[in-house]
A and B are shown apart, each in its own frame.
Chain A
Amino acid sequence: MQAFKYFIATDARHAVALLAQHAPARLLAGGTDLLPELKASLHTSKTVIDISRVSDMHKIELSERGLSIGALVTHSEIMAAPVICDMFPALVSAAHSIGAVQTRNLGTLGGNLVTAVPSVDSGPTLIALDALVTIAGATGLRQMPLADFFIAPRKTALKPDELLVEVLIPKENLNKPAHFLKFGLRKGQALALVNAAASLWLDPKKNTCTAVRIALGAVAPTVIRAVSAEKFLEGRSATPKNFSEAARLAVEDTHPISDMRASAGYRKDLVAVLVKRALEAACAQAKAAQDNTGKRK
């Protein structure tokens, strides 16, 4: 690995100050992407700012604002967090689908998101839950929808002196039924050919879907929402026929490429299957939650 200057940030504010002072610098969190890049000398940057011990970006916290997940929370910590297992099993599935144990123990949610690769496994579920990201910079904090954070492959809305500090699932979406699916060539250590997440609320009396969100990865330059499929399903009943039609419409929302992993046509076929299954699973989760509430009454 080429030599670099190394600074350790103690908290987010310190990290921002170091960034301002040493830009362009690279941030080290889990290191699972950065170290291979530094070894391959892909970056000319000669400065690394280690944020892995930053004290105020490690929390998973339920508050008035919703569920806040610090950018430095690792994939393993997401899988083990009772509040996430309870409210958002889809986030647990997404975290579990990344890499293998060793990389999940190191890799962080924020690190995964800032890679902004089209197949980013943390992306679809969070976008399907309308997650926001909090960004720290010299002028303070700013917040934006995660969907707008991804700009192009490997490009985010972060400016060189900014830092992703938190992901927030807004309070209106706490416990929102959601499901994540990933199709890769293997279960472990594989990039997604396609990944998909769906979330919805189910009206218990009318059996209709509302606030439908369908987010897809690896089928466009960034994670996208299948907007025409969402619109079709909004207010319609949760039936296999409607889910099939939504899945068909979702395919039309995608623009996959052919590469060494899969052809565009194969990816489109996968979209139809994964969207239908994700919708069915989210719907089943909604029904199970309603049954539980019924029993409690």
Chain B
Amino acid sequence: MINISFTLNGEKRSASVPPETTLLKMLRESLNLTGAKLGCDVGDCGACTVIVDGKAVNSCLMLACQVEGRDVLTIEGLATPDHLHPIQEAFENSAALQCGFCGPGVILSAKALLDANPNPDVAEIRDALAGNLCRCTGYTKMISAVQTAACTLNGKPAEHSA
């Protein structure tokens, strides 16, 4: 077993897991955070996307021990019981998710994008979401939701509608 200490959604956490445990497995099974989903388990679908030190990564492709001392943000760290994050709100208002399985990953990819680039164009949004596969809603409404969220986060009225 390996002991790991890291920051998870703003709080210091620790866990003890066998070395072959992926970050995804630790989040879901040891820490009971099931927002990050197990999809393909090989880094193609993006359902397991989380943000580590500000960057979107596939949590199925990292060992849990690799986040020692690092900062991990999962979908559970975005909303409070009273308020959705502006990206989540935009996704809800645009009906950008149907089954929602890809949602946590897509929203975190969008967050990593908007944190680094507050005014992305459509091509940049598409590039940022290219690693997140959605099999039911499609991407048009997601792109529009990211544009809306960008406006909200920049304190501007939304220019785009779904």
Which secondary structure dominates where chain B touches chain A? mixed
A294 to B128, CA, bound (A): 38
Within 8 Å CB of A38, what residues of B? 20
A-B contacts at CB below 8 angstroms, number: 87
* Nearest-CB residue, chain A, relative to B44: A189
- Cβ A3 vs Cβ B18 within 8 A: yes
- Cβ A187 vs Cβ B18 within 8 A: no
| Chain B residues near A (Cβ < 8 Å) | 2, 18-22, 41-44, 46, 49, 55-58, 60-63, 65-66, 109, 112-113, 127-128, 130-132
Give the distance to chain B from A45, nearest Cβ to Cβ, in Å.
12
- Cβ A50 vs Cβ B66 within 8 A: yes
Within 8 Å CB of B2, what residues of A? 6
* Nearest-CB residue, chain B, relative to A36: B42
Given contacts A32-B61, A102-B49, A106-B61, contact A2 B109 (CB under 8 A): no
A4 to B63, CA, bound (A): 12
Within 8 Å CB of A52, what residues of B? 66
- Cβ A106 vs Cβ B19 within 8 A: no
Given contacts A103-B131, A189-B131, contact A28 B55 (CB under 8 A): no
Interface flag for A101 (CB, 8 Å): yes
Give the distance to chain B from A159, nearest Cβ to Cβ, in Å.
25
* A8, A30, A102, A187 — most chain B CB neighbours (10 Å): A102
- Cβ A102 vs Cβ B46 within 8 A: yes
Within 8 Å CB of B132, what residues of A? 100
Please name 17 further chain A to chain B contacts, defined as beta carbons within 8 Å, in addition to the given A52-B66, A103-B131, sorted by A numbering.
A1-B21, A1-B22, A4-B20, A6-B19, A30-B61, A31-B61, A31-B63, A35-B22, A35-B60, A35-B61, A39-B42, A99-B131, A100-B46, A101-B127, A102-B61, A102-B109, A188-B131
